[in-house]
Amino acid sequence: MQHLSFNSSRLLSSAALLAALAAFSTSSSALQPLITDDTGTQGEGGNQLEVSYSHDRTRAGGETERVHSVPVVYTYGLTDTVNVYAGIAYQRIRVPGDDANGFSNTVIGAKWRFFENEDSGTSLAIKPEIAAPVSSHREEDGLGTGKTSGALTFILSQDVPFGSIHFNAGVGRDRFRNSDDNATTKHLSVAPVWDVSEQWKLAADFGVDWSRANGDTVRAKYGEIGAIYSANKDLDLAVGFIRTTDNDSPKAKTNTWTAGLTWRF
């Protein structure tokens, strides 16, 4: 099998990265399938397991590329306000005349809700995370970064009459064995969530990501709609659709369907 180059793997889709970010977002409010995280934590001794599936379909330069991903994230509550988590995704990348599959970077991180005002419904949190490197073989296949990478996200959650609104602002560094491919990333997003009933939530998610490497900056914008069904206080089911476009050359347009399960125990 001919290995995918890094440049071609980037064209596999902006949404593939966004889907991975969504997979590694942990939240006691079970806001899967959103990319934007909230300030919720599990509480001391609480556990959460998230499993999802996403399918990306990208058109770029007259070609169609597909990515299938199955992320798994485990979260543990160290204290009432601090979570730690670990996640990994199995991916299959399909491009014309080629195919690659394997595990992406293992991501470990934490979330600390350092401020909360119950009267105003405002809370703030920070979320640092580190991505362990993948093998050179998997890096060549476009499955992850070959050197330790990291990100830091600031989170604001605000209760409103219809439900809640969540804001994220983040920075990160993607590092590869070929240092010329290293990229600095920035992320901004907002997600309103409507409490339709005791069991149903509807949500939207809008964001933009910037990736700067070799003096060039690529901007990717996305919009998502999603629904969350709470079968009970410990089990949620979620579905979502994401549309992503970027300003790269050639431009890429991606549609992503995702479905997932969140279990708290």
* Domain-located, residue 29: yes
201 within a domain of the structure (yes/no): yes
Torsion sign across C-alpha atoms 238, 247, 57, 146: negative
On whether residue 19 sits in a domain, the answer given is yes
Domain contains 155: yes
- The helix or strand, by DSSP H or E, that contains position 16, with its residue range, turns out to be helix 14-23
How would you classify the pairing of strands 47-60 and 63-77? antiparallel
Number of domains in the chain: 1
Task: Confirm whether pTM is higher than 0.75.
Answer: yes
Domain encompassing residue 144? 6-264
Contacts for 250 with CB less than 8 Å, ≥ 6 apart: 11, 60, 61, 62
User: Domain for residue 202, yes or no?
Assistant: yes
Q: Is residue 1 part of a domain?
A: no
Q: What is the pLDDT along the chain (265 residues), one digit of tens a residue?
A: 333 333 344 444 343 444 444 444 433 334 899 999 999 999 999 999 999 999 999 998 888 999 999 999 999 999 999 999 999 999 999 988 788 999 999 999 999 999 999 999 999 999 999 999 999 999 998 899 999 999 999 999 999 999 999 999 999 999 999 999 899 999 999 999 999 999 999 999 999 999 999 889 999 999 999 999 999 999 999 999 999 999 988 899 999 999 999 999 9
Around Cβ 186, how many Cβ atoms within 10 Å?
15
CATH, residue 157: 2.40.128.130
pLDDT tens digits for range 191-212: 999 999 999 999 999 999 999 9
Q: Is residue 67 part of a domain?
A: yes
Alpha carbon distance 164, 37 (integer Å): 12
Q: Is residue 134 part of a domain?
A: yes
